[in-house]
Homo-oligomer: A and B are copies of this chain.
Amino acid sequence: MGEIVTIQQAVMAEDEKYALRVRQMMRDSGTLMVNVIGSPGCGKTTLLEETASRAPFLFAVIEGDLETSRDAERLAAKNIEALQVNTKGCCHLEAHVVEKALAALSLDSVGVLFVENVGNLVCPAEFDLGEDFKVAVASTPEGADKPLKYPMLFVQAEAVLLTKVDLLPHVRFDKELFLRDVRSLNPKCPVIELDLISGAGVEEWVSFLSGRLEEKRAHGQG
């Protein structure tokens, strides 16, 4: 399988050129780009819906899914500018797809561009899309063993969002173990606990983003 590995490396190297171009576009427009990665159904789209009602910055979304445009429709219904990209069988987004999508989005006065990756904890962690950083979303019903099972994601993430904490009384989830394992992989990473039904935790998440956006803009002008 040596040939395959070489070809995969070539694909990833080729894609890295697109990622660099995307990163430059984000620098030029002063937009913070956040790559949101989590399992199917962990609450990624709901997170963005809830972010909309509290964020002091404008944002846009690139929605990656194999099929359907349901998530973009859900966001559009909340007046969020969202562009759906169907990956047609591919289990992750790649930078060349993002670059193409950006041609259809206006970033004028957009503070944060979210990329909601395909629901998958494996391959999305391996691809640089040109984002400022990745965020790992894990929900309590999935169980506490996810950090050690999917270390590549949790090592890279600059924030871990623990969603569905409202279900803690009803599910088997060892929060101490989860936090300990996240810290063992990524000692300084903030972990934000979210209940997206009541909105608990959303302020903390929005303030984290605002801080990162401010830093980026200060740095861009410095």
Q: Point out residues on A near B: beta carbons under 8 Å.
A: 1, 3-4, 7, 11, 39-42, 65-68, 70, 89-91, 118-123, 126, 139, 141-143, 145-146, 148-152, 164, 166-167, 170-171
**A40 neighbours in B (Cβ, 8 Å):** 39, 121, 142, 146, 149-150
- Closest Cβ neighbor of A197 among chain B residues: B172
A39 near B141 with CB under 8 A, answer no
Interface centre among A68, A122, A139 (most CB of B within 10 A): A122
* Known contacts A4-B11, A7-B3, A7-B7: A39-B148 contact under CB 8 Å: no
A141 near B118 with CB under 8 A, answer no
Known: A68-B148, A120-B121. 10 other contacts (CB 8 A): A39-B41, A41-B143, A66-B152, A67-B150, A70-B145, A89-B122, A89-B152, A91-B91, A141-B141, A170-B170
**A148 neighbours in B (Cβ, 8 Å):** 67-68, 70
